Chain A
Amino acid sequence: MLARLIPHPMLSVTLTLVWLALVNTVTLGNLLLGSALGIVIPMITAPYWPNRPTLRKPLAVAEFVLVVFWDIIVANIQVAAIILFRRRADIHSQWVTVPLDLTSPEAITALGGTITMTPGTVAVTLSADAGSMLVHCLHTDDPDGLRDSIKTRYERRLKEIFE
Chain B
Amino acid sequence: MALFTDILISFFLVISGVFGLVGSFGLVKLHGSMQRLHAPTKAAALGVGGVLIASMLYFLLVEGSFSFHELLITLFVFLTAPITASFIAKAFMVGNLRPEDLPETGGAYGWAVYDDPPAQDQHKDGGEK
Contact = CB atoms under 8 A, between A and B. Distances in A.
Please indicate whether A and B come from the same complex rather than being unrelated chains: yes
Interface of A: 18, 20-22, 24, 72-73, 76, 79-80, 83-84, 88, 91, 93, 95-97, 99, 112-113, 115-117, 119-120, 122-129, 131-132, 134, 136, 138
Contact of B68 (A20, A116, A122, A127): A20
Contact of A80 (B34, B42, B86): B42
A127 B107 contact: yes
A116 B115 contact: no
B127 to A, nearest CB: 9
A79 B29 CA distance: 13
A94 to B, nearest CB: 9
A128 B112 contact: yes
Nearest to B76: A18
Contacts, number: 138
Contact of B112 (A99, A115, A125): A125
B93 A21 contact: no
A21 B46 contact: no
Contacts of B31: 88, 91
Contacts of B34: 93, 122, 136
- By size class, the interface of chain B is 35 or more
Interface string B23-55: 001100111101101110110111001000000
A137 to B, nearest CB: 9
A140 to B, nearest CB: 12
B22 interface: yes
Contacts of A126: 111-112
Given A21-B68, A117-B81, A123-B86, A93 B35 contact: yes
A129 B129 CA distance: 10
B58 interface: no
Nearest to B129: A129
Given A119-B45, A134-B105, 8 more contacts: A21-B69, A72-B49, A79-B42, A117-B81, A125-B89, A128-B112, A128-B115, A129-B129
Contacts of B62: none
B103 A128 contact: no
Among A83, A88, A123, find the residue whose CB has the most chain B CB atoms closer than 10 A.
A83
